[in-house]
Amino acid sequence: MAHGSQHAVRRMVEAWLVEAMSRYNADSYERREAYAAQVHLPGSVLQDLVWWALQALPDEVLVGLDVDAGRPHLDEVDAMFAGAAQRDGLFAGQGYVIGEAAVVNRGDSYSVHHLPEEWTDDLFRSDRGSRGGRFTHWLHTHPNAPAIPSGADADAAQETLGVDMILGLRFSPEGPLPWFDDVDGERRTLAAAEGAPVRRRFGRREPPVLGVAPSGHRIHEIQLIAFHRTGVGVNVVLVDDDGWPYGWSTLT
């Protein structure tokens, strides 16, 4: 097959998500000096993650992520997003675009980190800790809460070979647990563009809608961060199937 056949299956990403990812990348670029490293996540994977998060409500989900060893970051992009403090060799898989994602567990904010037995038996070499070294990176979701690590999250990250990521979602209908924002920490957000209309539902004001999920949820905000087990932040760059950041033309 022709060059690139490995990635021949191109998947549609919602237009509203593409626009929000462009804004997120512009923010990642602006803040590049605050980060020690960067990780490139395909938009199609991010879209899957958002859908999975909403399908699992009210649970959180834990997702294992592997890098595509055949897909290094594009040099030009890596150089653009590299701050002066960027360090090589900080974590496993550094410099490679994230490839596969798989849901590994679901549960509350504590139990989500405890893998089911089938993931921790000797099939996956538990000598590398309870996460078994099975995946390079890990991501878990925070339904109706910001993407800020809890103490349990920081503990779980100690066994991660790559980086830990958190996906926070603000959505309606909220379900039993309304949006909870009383947490200190730096937010990295994909939200509706400024000036987007605020909705009124049943006498209540609802934040601007970023997009609607297949589950019918109205998504107001997606938050996404990555961090290394030492506590340093890792800048996330959202890339298309060819490795170029969404909104690249507006950055260069």
Answer whether 190's CB lies under 8 Å from 222's CB: yes
**Max alpha carbon distance in the chain (Å)?**
58
Answer whether 93's CB lies under 8 Å from 137's CB: yes
For residue 149, the minimal CB distance to Zn ion (Å) is 6
**Applying CB under 5 A, which part among 27-35, 151-159, 202-210, 232-240 lies near Zn ion?**
151-159
**Applying CB under 5 A, which part among 40-48, 131-139, 153-161, 174-182 lies near Zn ion?**
153-161
Residues that bind Zn ion (rule: CB under 5 A) add up to a total of 2
Torsion region of 243: left, alpha or beta (phi above 0 gives left; psi -120 to 50 gives alpha): left
Q: Given candidates 21, 67, 146, 153, which one binds Zn ion under the rule CB under 5 A? A: 153
For residue 108, the minimal CB distance to Zn ion (Å) is 10
Q: Which residues pair with 164 in a beta bridge?
A: 138, 227
Between 55 and 150, whose beta carbon lies closer to Zn ion? 150
**Applying CB under 5 A, which part among 49-57, 114-122, 143-151, 244-252 lies near Zn ion?**
143-151
32 contact partners, CB below 8 Å, separation of at least 6: 38, 81, 82, 83, 235
Q: Residue with CB nearest Zn ion?
A: 153
Between 178 and 185, whose beta carbon lies closer to Zn ion? 185
**Applying CB under 5 A, which part among 19-27, 28-36, 147-155, 198-206 lies near Zn ion?**
147-155
Handedness of CA 147, 151, 153, 158 (dihedral sign): positive
For residue 52, the minimal CB distance to Zn ion (Å) is 15
Structure letter (DSSP) for residue 135 = -
- Of residues 157, 170, 161, 189, the one with CA closest to residue 28: 189
For residue 112, the minimal CB distance to Zn ion (Å) is 7
Between 187 and 199, whose beta carbon lies closer to Zn ion? 187
